[in-house]
Structure 1
Amino acid sequence: MKIGITGTGSYIPSVVTDNDDFLNHEFLGVDGSSFEQENTVIIEKFQAITGIASRRYAKPELKTSDIGFLAAEEAISNAGIDKEELDYIIFAHNFGDLTPGKIQGDTLPSLASRVKHLLRIKNPKCVAYDLIFGCPGWIEGVIQAKAFIQSGLAKKCLVIGGETLSRVIDRHDRDSMIFSDGAGATILEANPSSGEILAHASATYANDEAYYLYFDKTNSSKGCTNTRYIKMQGRKIYEFACINVPKAMAECLDESGVNIDDVKKIFIHQANEKMDEAIIKRFYKIYGKKVPDHIMPMSIHKLGNSSVATVPTLLNLVEKGELPEHKLEKGDVIMFASVGAGMNINAVVYRY
């Protein structure tokens, strides 16, 4: 039974925030101390490492569930299915619905239930639930959807990845420039004409690594002590990802039986350009190979890091021809890979 993606969709927010918009921010260290460098230098170094020149933020009236719904609508239309036939809606996120100016995330009801409500699906047997798995959440949702379909518990599943990280960033933290908003969605089903998931791998490292990404107070002593923001130990994440993600990808590829030379594209979580390049380089090094040209589509330069949304959004952009240098043909073998809070990693080998 071939289980694959039959429809994709995405929502890219309309508010463009360029690096120059951070020039007047007061960046502070974790201890509240000022940096010696001027913001122009900080931003130049940031762009050189991450590749990010701009990012997208959602308008205040749009919450994570709203943009997830918009991506889901496109995916359903793209797949040409009846929404009432959906057996599962899986919404991967990390912070729930966030309202600008408020200090709590909202997950009551779940974002998946909110999307089902917005889609006006009447079928009560369409089960909606949320998945919190860090940035690899959408890929993990795909793996779960495949399991549901393979076991006979489902025929069609909607998997969404969405986030509005702009509402949980500390404007005094240099890392705030990394994060962005967005949503991506896919329909998975057993379909002879669809693509096919050939293999997958997942892992959680939660001993020393569990709190490499965490929630904490602002770096400013003048800020609200009751508000928490997304924080990360960037160097440790970089080192962790470069060691563990290539291994997971190799494990997944070996299980699939596909030769590395037959991999046409790798859709990797858009976390940091230099880190992604290092991961791919180490992955190919395992097989004694050099990285092929144009193997890795990238959207981080203009869209930033929208966490769970990056991989499905990237796939949708390539399918729509919005990254002209990257094209997919039926039968191409591609890979999905991600790393994020938990610390979680995963990978999927997929025949398009």
Structure 2
Amino acid sequence: MLRAVVKGVGHYLPERIVPNAEFEKSLDTSDEWIRSRSGIERRHFAAEGETTSMLATKAAQAALANAGMTGADVDAIILATSTADFTFPSAATMVQNALGMTKGFAYDVQAVCAGFVYALANANALIVSGQARRVLVIGAETFSRIMDWTDRSTCVLFGDGAGALLLEAEDHAGTSDDPGILSTDLNSDGRYRDLLYVDGGISTGTSGVLRMQGREVFRHAVEKLAETAHAALAKASLGHEDVDWVVPHQANIRIIQSTAKKLGLEMDKVVVTVQDHGNTSAASIPLALSVGVERGQIKPGDLVVTEAIGGGLAWGSVVLRW
């Protein structure tokens, strides 16, 4: 059967690094307060004029270079983002143009922090159905543009960045030993919209700022992330004992730790980057995958579980063999 196999990975972070101490100048907060509640020590903010599509393009170029390919080799681009440059056209088509890709197609996916998991599932469906052979899957965000800088409970948590994977169709036996995406599990429940949202958009004529009920989001996150990871593993006829690495959405170290515990896994099997990047929404999983490979943690043949939850609420997971 056809499998969507990882051929390249890459990421990009804006040059500006913002340590926790910088927030002490304008908010009633401290480095210790932020670290103890989130695990975050620093994050990156995009420069003035540096857009989401620019970040996405640089991450895509890094993934293509890692695979030894160019934009001309790609059939499709799926870009997960909630902070696209414009209402339309899609940021993905801007990346397509920047990569010199004149064939195929490109589109955005919007599922907030779960966006990259949704994009991977989309890419997998395109590949196994034969609609595309090579798909570039990107997560990119500039959440610094939608922060309320007077709200210490949210503005200290988020950062900007981008990550990308290049997937390619390969024929394999159809077992759980195959490389590539082995299973996906996607979920959403619109009843929880008010737990995490941006209070702007077309209906208001403003871009708005992020609003979050942190305690409730935390409660749902731990429960739903563990459930979706178990579901995806079961679909692949695998269990937690088969997992080499969990690469979770990097939102909060306490959520990451609690979810790992519910999965029956030690933290030495979890790729953690939240301390350096903060919550980069749809960019957080591909960023962590790329950094995990760069560190020498994720190696060929490793079984990787990714899981994320975001506004909607939307959540899901992907099981893949590197």
Superposed pair shares fold, TM > 0.5? yes
Structure number with larger C-alpha Rg? 1
Structure-1-length-normalised TM-score:
0.84
Task: Give the secondary structure class of the aligned counterpart of 2:210.
Answer: strand
Supply the distance in 2 between the matched residues of 1:267 and 1:134 (Cα, whole angstroms): 17
The equivalent residue for 2:175 is none
- Superposed CA deviations along residues 173-204 of structure 1, whole A, max 9, x for unmatched, are 01100000000011111136993111110100
Which residue of the other structure, out of 28, 38, 50, is the alignment partner of 1:50?
38
Q: Contact 1:142–1:188 (CA<8 Å) still a contact in 2?
A: no
Sequence identity percentage: 30
Code of the residue aligned with 1:199 in structure 2: it is: S
Write the mapping of 1:59-138 to structure 2, written as runs, cut at 5 A. Answer: 59-97=47-85, 106-123=86-103, 126-138=104-116
The equivalent residue for 1:204 is 188
Question: Can you give the 5+ residue segments of structure 1 that lack an aligned partner in the other structure?
Answer: 27-37, 98-105, 218-224, 285-290
The equivalent residue for 2:159 is 180
Question: Can you give the 5+ residue segments of structure 2 that lack an aligned partner in the other structure?
Answer: 173-177
The equivalent residue for 1:23 is 24
CA deviation after TM superposition for structure 1 residue 299, in Å = 0.8
Worse-superposed segment, 240-249 or 327-336: 327-336
Supply the distance in 2 between the matched residues of 1:118 and 1:330 (Cα, whole angstroms): 30
The equivalent residue for 1:283 is 263
CA deviation after TM superposition for structure 1 residue 210, in Å = 1.8
Supply the distance in 1 between the matched residues of 2:142 and 2:305 (Cα, whole angstroms): 26
Worse-superposed segment, 82-91 or 266-275: 82-91
Supply the distance in 1 between the matched residues of 2:62 and 2:83 (Cα, whole angstroms): 23
The equivalent residue for 1:339 is 309
Worse-superposed segment, 254-263 or 63-72: 254-263
The equivalent residue for 1:231 is 211
Supply the distance in 2 between the matched residues of 1:279 and 1:134 (Cα, whole angstroms): 19
The equivalent residue for 2:268 is 294
Worse-superposed segment, 151-160 or 114-123: 114-123
Supply the distance in 1 between the matched residues of 2:11 and 2:206 (Cα, whole angstroms): 34
Q: Contact 2:3–2:127 (CA<8 Å) still a contact in 1?
A: no
Q: Contact 2:75–2:105 (CA<8 Å) still a contact in 1?
A: yes
Which residue of the other structure, out of 272, 290, 310, is the alignment partner of 2:284?
310
Supply the distance in 2 between the matched residues of 1:279 and 1:293 (Cα, whole angstroms): 10
The equivalent residue for 2:294 is 320
CA deviation after TM superposition for structure 1 residue 65, in Å = 0.3
Q: Contact 2:138–2:164 (CA<8 Å) still a contact in 1?
A: yes
1:14 aligns with 2:15: yes
Q: Contact 2:244–2:303 (CA<8 Å) still a contact in 1?
A: yes
Structure-2-length-normalised TM-score:
0.92
Write the mapping of 1:139-288 to structure 2, written as runs, cut at 5 A. Answer: 139-174=117-152, 175-191=154-170, 195-207=179-191, 209-216=192-199, 228-284=208-264
Task: Give the secondary structure class of the aligned counterpart of 1:138.
Answer: helix
CA deviation after TM superposition for structure 1 residue 226, in Å = 5.6
- Superposed CA deviations along residues 35-54 of structure 1, whole A, max 9, x for unmatched, are xxx533xx522210100011
Q: Contact 1:92–1:141 (CA<8 Å) still a contact in 2?
A: yes
CA deviation after TM superposition for structure 1 residue 257, in Å = 1.1
How many residues matched? 311
Supply the distance in 2 between the matched residues of 1:272 and 1:119 (Cα, whole angstroms): 33
Code of the residue aligned with 1:25 in structure 2: it is: S
Supply the distance in 2 between the matched residues of 1:81 and 1:262 (Cα, whole angstroms): 32
**What is the CA RMSD across the aligned residues, in angstroms?**
1.8
Q: Contact 2:115–2:139 (CA<8 Å) still a contact in 1?
A: yes
Give the ranges of 4+ consecutive aligned residues of structure 1 lying more than 4 Å apart after TM superposition. none
Q: Contact 2:3–2:128 (CA<8 Å) still a contact in 1?
A: no
Code of the residue aligned with 1:73 in structure 2: it is: Q
Worse-superposed segment, 160-169 or 107-116: 107-116
Q: Contact 2:45–2:160 (CA<8 Å) still a contact in 1?
A: yes
Code of the residue aligned with 2:281 in structure 1: it is: S
- Superposed CA deviations along residues 47-76 of structure 1, whole A, max 9, x for unmatched, are 101000111111113100001000011111
